[in-house]
Amino acid sequence: MRYKIIDVYQKENLKHYIAKSLKPRSPQFIIIQSTQTLCLNLDIIDVNPKTAVTTWATGEEIAMKILRQFDSFDKAYLT
C-alpha cells in the first residue's frame, strides 16, 4: 500500500510522520516513527501490511516503525 507523508511532529526526540493512503483502502492513515528525514507532501512510501516492511516508492528499504493505523484522522487525537 502506498502512502504520502502529510504531517510530521516531534515526540521524545524522534520524528513521527502521518501518512495518507493514495488509494481508497483501509487503513487510510498511518503514523510512523523514523530516524530518517522524510519530506512533507513529496515522499511516497510503500508499506507491506503483512510484514510491516516499508520502502521508498523506488524500492529502497526504510527503517521505520508503524505506530498506529486508522481510517479517520480524528481518531489519532482520541487515543
Does the residue 39 lie in any domain? Answer: yes
CA of 18: how far to CAs of 3, 15, in Å? Answer: 9, 10
State the pLDDT at residue 74.
63
Does the residue 14 lie in any domain? Answer: yes
State the pLDDT at residue 58.
81
Taking the model in full, what pTM does it have? 0.83
- Domains of the chain: total: 1
Does the residue 78 lie in any domain? Answer: no
Q: pLDDT tens across 3-40, in order?
A: 999 999 988 888 999 999 999 888 999 999 988 889 99
Does the residue 10 lie in any domain? Answer: yes
Question: What domain range is 48 assigned to?
Answer: 2-67
Residue 1's nearest CA partner among 60, 64, 70, 53 is 53
State the pLDDT at residue 8.
92
Give the integer Cα–Cα distance in Å for 2 and 60: 14
Give the integer Cα–Cα distance in Å for 68 and 25: 15
